Amino acid sequence: MAAYLSLRHKKTGVLYSGGALVQVDDMLCAHLGVEPDSVNWYGGWMDWIGFTLAYLSDKSTSEALTPMRKNARANERQIIDWFISTFENESHHGR
């Protein structure tokens, strides 16, 4: 079964999925004051935050990511907190 990452911006209601997730990376970089990389997701967030949210599609962003804060480094906590405060998890599973 495949898992598909979709994030809904809490303030604007805009849904980000597929190729539009690059815009999420751009927003994260702007929030943190770093230059986006044209090849890599900032902090590799797609590999750990993106996967977690897609896999735990039945959980809210907060429910899925808050447990990760316990063992996260300071910069990782910043990323986690930003995702929790900025997006709702609209991910789903499918075949």
pLDDT for 62: 98
- Segment 52-77, tens digit of pLDDT: 999 999 999 999 999 999 999 999 99
pLDDT for 3: 78
pTM greater than 0.75 (yes/no): yes
Is 33's pLDDT higher than 70? yes
Q: How far is CA 27 from CA 1, 16, 21, 83, in A?
A: 30, 12, 10, 10
- Percent of the chain's residues with pLDDT above 70: 96
* Range in 37-41, 49-53, 80-84, 90-94 with the lowest mean pLDDT: 90-94
pLDDT for 29: 98
Closest-CA residue to 49 (of 2, 85, 84, 23): 84
